[in-house]
Structure 1
């Protein structure tokens, strides 16, 4: 499938190995990867430069959370799926309405959730 027809995904994940693995797995499932961002600043820059159709947000990015990215995506009406090792009640309020997958998760479950959240064209 040409890149222009594939859903563009922004991955926000602070663990480089997890981010790389997610990118490889999702490309194998037909998604186009905008980039893998380990920080809020990098994610905001990638979104500003390239946009995305949907995002995957690791809630906890070490010393920061991805809440600013969730707010930006919500304002732009871009859906996202949150992934975390924490429970929903430990997540910032920006994630209350988002689908939440607990780490570790199966890639098939993530792919199914991404497809459910994708805007219908």
Structure 2
């Protein structure tokens, strides 16, 4: 039911977009916890002032614009004294131009148009194009490594392998089942895992990854699924990096660069 001021209707529209905002926030921070904290802060801000939705009729654009106002004022996404892989990511982040990763993710993973990104980030369209080009160059130059592909469809596996190799990475191998994935991970330790959810023998890519993460808990992982909203409920540990099927080449490129950039992930429990 819609109230006279449209509050209920707006809440429903925001709720339908929230899983994707959380995906975006996680990709920016490299962490489920950090990303979700930013998403919560965005919702709290909207509860206090929803004027951005009055000025911008596109709910998704307005929601991300509100998020960006908070993100832009919050500073570094991880503490300055953070150690380990997140600390290394922070050091690399300082070398990147402001707003470059954000523009790249908005364009590729979130699939906003140049005009929509310009509205979200409050810059002109030429600046958006420049930011995206700069992000690609900076991130590809700062990260490279060995990637394992868990995918049961040979054509898709070959396509994913070609995409990551074009970025300068090497592929340690392709696994079609949970058992193959565990064995390959143990014999050819990768720097990143790119995993489908449903595998050839009806085993789970999630289970395969969790088996591997027992021995390599800091391994970055990107999951691929046709139903990303099912893995972004907030009710359990979930992936920081998630690609929707059918994917586009630049989505994979962007997600791989982001995941390698942070070199950390959180276990996804089935």
Q: TM-score, normalised by structure 2?
A: 0.39
Larger Rg: 2
Please list the CA deviations of residues 9-48 of structure 1 after superposition, one character each: whole Å capped at 9, or x if unmatched: 0000010111011112221221100011111111111110
1:65 is the counterpart of 2:207? no
Cα displacement (A) at 1:103: 0.6
1:116 is the counterpart of 2:258? yes
Structure with the larger strand share = 1
- Is contact 1:84-1:101 (8 Å) kept? yes
Structure with the larger helix share = 2
What's the secondary structure of 1:61's corresponding residue? coil
Which residue of 1 is the match for residue 180 of structure 2? 42
Query: Structure with the greater relative contact order (CA < 8 A, sep ≥ 6): 1 or 2?
Result: 1
Query: 1:65, 1:120 → 2: CA distance?
Result: 25
- Is contact 1:11-1:56 (8 Å) kept? yes
- The partner residue of 1:99 within 238, 241, 250 is 241
- Equivalenced residue count is 116
Query: 2:230, 2:213 → 1: CA distance?
Result: 20
- The partner residue of 1:85 within 214, 223, 226 is 226
Q: TM-score, normalised by structure 1?
A: 0.82
Query: 1:32, 1:89 → 2: CA distance?
Result: 31
Query: 1:79, 1:18 → 2: CA distance?
Result: 20
Q: 1:95 to 1:42 in 2, by over 3 A?
A: farther
Query: 1:42, 1:30 → 2: CA distance?
Result: 25
What's the secondary structure of 1:55's corresponding residue? strand
**For 1:5-44, what aligned pairs fall within 5 Å after superposition?**
6-44=144-182
Q: 1:9 to 1:89 in 2, by over 3 A?
A: same
